[in-house]
Amino acid sequence: MTAAQSLDEDFLALADPYRRELLAHCYRMMGSLHDAEDQMQETFIRAWRGYAGYKQQSSLRTWLYRIATNTCLTALQSRSMRPLPSGLGAPDSDPTAELVQRHEVPWLEPIPNTAYDDDASDPATIVTSRESVRLAFIAALQHLPPRQRAVLVLRDVLQWKASEVAAAIDSTTPAVNSLLQRARAQLELAMPTTDTLVEPESPEEKALLERYVTAFENYDVEAIVEIFTKEAVWEMPPFDGWYLGGENIGRLISNNCPAQRAGDMRLLPSWANGQPAFGLYMRGEDGVHRPFQLHVLDVTAGGVAHVVCFFDLGLFEKFGLPQTPPT
């Protein structure tokens, strides 16, 4: 084995354990799993090329995060923010109005827990990680300029010192503190205020999710309405509308859902962004259920407070969901 081959193997062995957390970091910065995967790959390429000159003045983990942060900052120079419909600045929509698709908008994307959690089935792991990858938090980050976004993630999520952040983004400690102050103020404006989420896998959550599945699979609009809180939000990119309150959500579903009777919809459980999620399958004219939407839920003690329905059918494969539900 040559010295170069030995160096390559040494780098891969040391860096690979950080792959999942670096993906989560890139996702917070980019708001897209696809973009995050691209930037993580670029991070590893840059790190591999520079590993021979790595002087161990910081830990390998810190060094990789520096590279990942700057890789994302470079990529964000040519990209627009990734919003949810409720972040476009328009008021809530009339549930009886025509739906409008905006495919030109680079919408926020969900991330499966399995992409960034070493043990995504462990509720304790989900509790620890979910706040920093929740859809509401990622959506709020999109309203920050890239450098503010980087500073807030490094300081408040990763708990880096201001001096470490300054070194990572080639800035000064006073400048980092100023960026952080502005980022926190903007984040407070962008983050919706909701009731406290119930604990993952708790009896309360399980009971509410069972009601959610039953209501949709029975196509019981009245039961669906009762599941939501009074201030619940429903949104479904690439459609640009968003809907406030259980009654309006019920009207929207009544007016637009292609289901006609019980059994037309099937739901399979998953996890996205540390939150419960469901792949929803719609029965076609041939009687076969096929992917239709991916629902990501905020579940509170008072009911479901937020649902984002993603119509990107490619998400089913990314989330390990089958193309047809089991019979």
Mean pLDDT value across residues 315-320: 96
Q: What is the pLDDT of residue 124?
A: 40
Percent of the chain, pLDDT > 70? 92
More reliable by pLDDT, 4 or 58: 58
Q: Is the pLDDT of residue 6 over 90?
A: no
pLDDT band at 196 (very low <50, low <70, confident <90, very high): confident
Query: 297-311: per-residue pLDDT in tens?
Result: 999 999 999 999 999
pLDDT band at 72 (very low <50, low <70, confident <90, very high): very high
Q: What is the pLDDT of residue 104?
A: 95
Which residue blocks in 218-264 are alpha helix, DSSP H? 221-227, 246-256
Residue type, 90: A
Cα dihedral angle (51, 57, 60, 66), rounded to 10 degrees?
A: -90
Give the chain's mean pLDDT. Answer: 91
CA–CA separation, 240 and 84 (whole Å): 8
CB-based contacts of 285: which residues, under 8 Å, 6+ apart?
Answer: none
Mean pLDDT value across residues 235-252: 97
Q: What is the pLDDT of residue 200?
A: 80
CB-based contacts of 30: which residues, under 8 Å, 6+ apart?
Answer: 36, 39, 72, 75, 76, 79, 82
Q: What is the pLDDT of residue 10?
A: 85
Q: What is the pLDDT of residue 199?
A: 82
User: What is the CATH number assigned to the segment(s) 203-318?
Assistant: 3.10.450.50
We find that the CATH architecture of domain 1-79 is Orthogonal Bundle (1.10)
3-state helix, strand, coil in the chain (%, to 5): 50, 15, 35
Tokens 């450098």, located at residue = 147
Query: 90-141: per-residue pLDDT in tens?
Result: 999 999 999 999 999 999 999 999 998 755 444 444 444 568 999 999 999 9
Listed by start position, the domains of the chain span: 1-79, 203-318
Query: 143-178: per-residue pLDDT in tens?
Result: 999 999 999 999 999 999 999 999 999 999 999 999
Q: Is the pLDDT of residue 55 over 80?
A: no
Predicted TM-score (pTM) of this structure: 0.91
Q: What is the pLDDT of residue 224?
A: 97
